[in-house]
Amino acid sequence: MRQGLTQMTLQELVTKKNSGQQDIEQFTAAKTEINKRFSFSLASFAFALIGVPLAITAQRRETSVGFLFSLVVAFVYFFFIIMANAVRENPKFHPELLIWAPNVLFISLGAYLFWRLSRR
């Protein structure tokens, strides 16, 4: 039975990526899947980096705004993930880098929020 990329272990993905008997689309898809697994691990840090400054500055009456902001953050994050999965076999879009875009965006936003909080 043939296994999909999402069901493979990390070692199997690295082996598949390094084997020379595949086309460029399969190489890019395997590279994207490897990057996605590490990107998901860093996502919790990115979300915490945004959440801490917002939680410190939030008042009790601002809970609905905080809830709306959390939905927007989740939507943007998963939009980038869905877009990277949609183009994961097309190497000219560099999906292995696109999968990191939400983490870079949210870590930058979190760093800015911490900087702004420290200036208060």
Listed by start position, the domains of the chain span 25-118
Percent of the chain exceeding pLDDT 90 equals 27
The CB density around residue 99, as the number of other CB atoms within 10 Å, is: 25
Average pLDDT, rounded, for the chain: 84
Q: Which of 28-42, 49-63, 71-85 has the lowest mean pLDDT?
A: 49-63
Predicted pLDDT of residue 32: 86
- Closest of 100, 106, 68 to residue 81, by C-alpha: 100
Predicted pLDDT of residue 1: 43
Residue 7: is its pLDDT beyond 90?
no
Predicted pLDDT of residue 16: 75
Question: Between 75 and 27, whose confidence is greater?
Answer: 75
Say how far apart CA 74 and CA 58 lie, in whole Å.
19
Question: What does R_g of the chain's alpha carbons equal in angstroms?
Answer: 18
